[in-house]
Amino acid sequence: MDLILWRHADAEDGIPDRARKLTSKGVRQADNVAQWLLQRLPAKFSVLASPAERTQQTAKALDVPFKTVEALAPGASVRAILEAADWPEHKGPVIVVGHQPDLGRCAAHLVGMPGSDLSIKKGGLWWFSNRVRDGETGIVIRAVLSPDLL
């Protein structure tokens, strides 16, 4: 299984938090990262997004159907993120569009640093693969991407 943790792109400030929209910079970030992903993903993949407007807009940049998951709202636990994605059992890649520090904590957990935070820049992503070799499960980091590198 491939798990892609994609932080929403740059968003405006404001309240209520869930209603915040992407800035023009954020729209460009989401579009650029979406194009990068689409060039590398297989034809079939799943997308899960937090109900917050900024994550919905980020996910829409992929131009594919996606599922809104309340458990991915700001403040999501590592367990909630992994359960929503059905990690590591899901067949095929899953993109989770969510928030910081939630996704950073999940990334830290996956690299063996539970309880730590890793920073994921706005619009950035971490791409993990789960593999089994000789009966041993391992996690491979396939990519770490910051949108300012595109």
Is the pLDDT confidence value at 28 over 90? yes
Q: Are 72 and 50 in contact (CB under 8 A)?
A: yes
Q: What is the pLDDT of residues 53-86, one digit of tens each?
A: 999 999 999 999 999 999 999 999 999 999 999 9
Query: CATH no. for residue 133?
Result: 3.40.50.1240
DSSP β-bridge partners for residue 132:
137
Look up the domain containing 131 and give its range: 2-149
DSSP string, 111-135: TT-TT------TT-EEEEEEEEETT
Number of domains in the chain: 1
The pLDDT of residue 134 is above 90 = no
